[in-house]
Amino acid sequence: MLQLILGGARSGKSRLAEKLATDSQLQVTYIATYIATSQSQDGEMNERVAHHRARRPAEWALIEEPLELARVLRESASADRCLLVDCLTLWLTNLLMLDDAERLSAEREALLDCLASLPGEIIFVSNETGMGVVPLGELTRRYVDEAGWLHQALAERCQRVVLTVAGLPLTLKGTAL
């Protein structure tokens, strides 16, 4: 089953995804798309990562992959495993920062193309960014546009899509939670 969990910052989307992964009763592999390093200057982001790490069960496997998400999914998916990808918008940001439109397009298409053949449970977490004003700045507008297009394409392929607001899940597609 493919699931997409969307929500704003601090909406409860990651907590919901973690609960769904635990409830699957499968082996869980957490795929982190942001890699905190000791050289990272973003202290607030490093705190967010630390919070996520502290909350995850010790028995969950961890893969850190900022770019080649489709490859990792193909290599890691199995019928007895739940893959939790957190988060797609960080993955998208990583690709946008490469300033290589061909790489972004190739990685996006590779992700979308591999989904139908993946066994097991896959849960994607992503930030819903398109509910506010159109941002100033070309890169920011491109980010919002790319995230919106990615979410639409994923939602089309997923069996369940959930929007999380204030810790409450609203099922947009599939079986209600």
Q: Is there a catalytic annotation at residue 151?
A: no
φ, ψ (nearest 5 deg) of residue 170: -120, 110
Q: Under a CB-based contact definition with an 8 Å cutoff, are residues 130 and 148 in contact? A: yes
Amino acid at 173: K
Degrees to nearest 5, angle at CA 61 with 80 and 6? 80
**H or E element: which one contains 153?**
helix 138-157
> Integer distance in angstroms from the first to the last C-alpha of the chain?
14
Q: Under a CB-based contact definition with an 8 Å cutoff, are residues 127 and 6 in contact? A: yes
Token couple for 13: 């989307």
Which listed residue (52, 56, 108, 160) is catalytic? 52
Which residues are the active-site residues? 52
